[in-house]
Amino acid sequence: MPKLVWINGSVMPLESAVVSAADHALLYGDGLFEGIRFYNRKVFKLDEHLHRLYRGIAFLGFKMHIPFEELRNLVLSVCAQADLDNGYIRLNVTRGTGLGLNPDAIDQTPNVMIMINTLALYSQESYETGLHVVTSSFRVIPADSLDPRIKCIGRYASNILAKQEANRRGAGEALMLNHQGQLAECTGDNIFLIEKGIVRTPHPSCGILQGITRDVAIQMAREAGYTVEETILTPYDVLSADEAFLTGTAAEVIPMVSIDATPIGNGKPGPITNEVIRRFRLHTETGTPFGAPATTLV
Binding site for ligand PLP (CB under 6 A): 35, 159, 185, 188-190, 209, 211-214, 247-249
DSSP for 180-214 reads TS-EEEESSSEEEEEETTEEEEE-GGGT----HHH
Q: Which residues pair with 32 in a beta bridge?
A: 93, 152
Residue pair 123/251 in contact by the 8 Å Cβ criterion: no
Minimum distance of ligand PLP from residue 256's CB (angstroms): 14
Minimum distance of ligand PLP from residue 217's CB (angstroms): 9
Q: Is the Cβ of residue 92 or residue 97 nearer to ligand PLP in the bound state?
A: 92
Distance from C-alpha of 293 to C-alpha of 58, rounded to nearest angstrom? 30
Minimum distance of ligand PLP from residue 70's CB (angstroms): 22
Q: Is the Cβ of residue 188 or residue 270 nearer to ligand PLP in the bound state?
A: 188
Q: Is the Cβ of residue 112 or residue 176 nearer to ligand PLP in the bound state?
A: 176
Minimum distance of ligand PLP from residue 215's CB (angstroms): 8
Q: Is the Cβ of residue 35 or residue 172 nearer to ligand PLP in the bound state?
A: 35
CB proximity list for 9: less than 8 A, separation 6 or greater: 297, 298
Minimum distance of ligand PLP from residue 156's CB (angstroms): 7
Distance from C-alpha of 115 to C-alpha of 288, rounded to nearest angstrom? 17
**Can you say how many angstroms the Cα of residue 293 is from the centroid of all Cα atoms in its chain?**
27
Which residue, judged by CB position, is nearest to ligand PLP in the bound state? 211
Strands (E), 63-172: 87-94, 111-117, 131-135
Q: Is the Cβ of residue 163 or residue 294 nearer to ligand PLP in the bound state?
A: 163
